[in-house]
């Protein structure tokens, strides 16, 4: 059974963490045909951690897990920290297939998304 | 003349800043019909700053500037810092129309983009 784990940095600001959890909920609703299981995991400052998120997927019956790094830049977190957690999880669970998708900022759809955001500018107020 | 200013946090890691500049270049290529002018600006740790980015747009002939916040969460930077810079710029340039688009994380296209990223997982290696 296929699972998605949305991995974010985590914030001291609970509202930011809630936004990630809500995004995972939206993902669960929108790609149920491909991924029966969707969870969130945080690198630091929030729970569940990435290892806990991976365990949550496995507890739900996942046999394949795709890690989705919700990061804009290919910094140390994307290049080292997230892969380190994945290697450790693969060592704990050699029977589970765990892969890492490109980080968000690398998506070829990013330009399209930004253009759409620019078009919806009228909905945002600028304080005067 | 319409301008887009892609606003990012800025990083001590030059590669991350370069990724933002390259994204602005892609935006310039892809939405030339709607925005003749596209620049990048950084909140901190990199140049050009947001005020410098706004001046760059005006120097190129912008009469309307749309600020595109390249941020995932609606934290203090999105809610306070970027609007503060915009208010200051409007005070300096009352003849220029400056608006702020929704930040990236608020885009209704985000779920679609993440699903597409998950599909391209085969291109990423996980260290073993």
Nearest CA in chain B to A17: B73
* A-proximal residues of B, 13-52, CB under 8 Å: 13, 15-16, 19-20, 23, 26-27, 30-31, 34-35
Task: With beta carbons less than 8 A apart as the criterion, state whether A6 and A70 touch.
Answer: yes
More confident residue, B10 or B75: B10
The model's pLDDT over B37-91, given as tens digits with 9 standing for 90+, comes to 999 999 999 999 999 999 999 999 999 999 999 999 988 899 999 999 999 999 9
> Three-state SS for A67?
strand
- Identify the pLDDT of residue B122: 55
Whether the pLDDT of residue B125 is over 60: the answer is no
Nearest CA in chain A to B83: A126
Pairing of strands B64-69, B37-42: unpaired
- Identify the pLDDT of residue A62: 98
> Three-state SS for B25?
helix
pLDDT level of residue B28 (50, 70, 90 thresholds): very high
Of A9, A39, A77, A103, which is the active-site residue?
A9
C-alpha separations of B90 from A28, A111, A126, A128, B62 in Å = 42, 27, 10, 8, 13
The model's pLDDT over A83-109, given as tens digits with 9 standing for 90+, comes to 999 999 999 999 999 999 999 998 888
CA distance A8 to A16: 10
Q: Closest to A118 (Cβ–Cβ): which among B8, B23, B66?
A: B66
> Three-state SS for B74?
coil
Write out chain A's pLDDT in tens, 128 residues: 999 999 999 998 999 999 999 999 999 999 888 999 999 999 999 999 999 999 999 999 999 999 999 999 988 899 999 999 999 999 999 999 999 999 999 888 899 899 888 888 754 455 55
Question: Is B88 an interface residue toward A (CB < 8 Å)?
Answer: no
Which residues 6+ apart lie within 8 Å of B33 measured at CB? none
């Amino acid at each position: 059974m296929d699972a998605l784990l949305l991995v974010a940095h985590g914030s001291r600001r609970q509202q930011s963490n809630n936004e990630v959890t809500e995004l995972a909920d939206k993902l669960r609703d929108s790609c149920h045909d491909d991924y029966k299981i969707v969870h969130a995991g945080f690198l630091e400052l929030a729970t569940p951690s990435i290892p806990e998120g991976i365990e949550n997927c496995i507890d739900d019956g996942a046999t394949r897990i795709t890690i989705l790094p919700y990061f804009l830049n290919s910094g140390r977190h994307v290049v080292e920290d997230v892969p380190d957690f994945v290697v450790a999880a693969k060592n704990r669970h050699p029977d589970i297939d765990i892969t890492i998708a490109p980080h968000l900022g690398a998506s070829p759809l990013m330009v399209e998304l930004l253009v759409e955001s620019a078009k919806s500018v009228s909905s945002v107020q600028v304080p005067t």
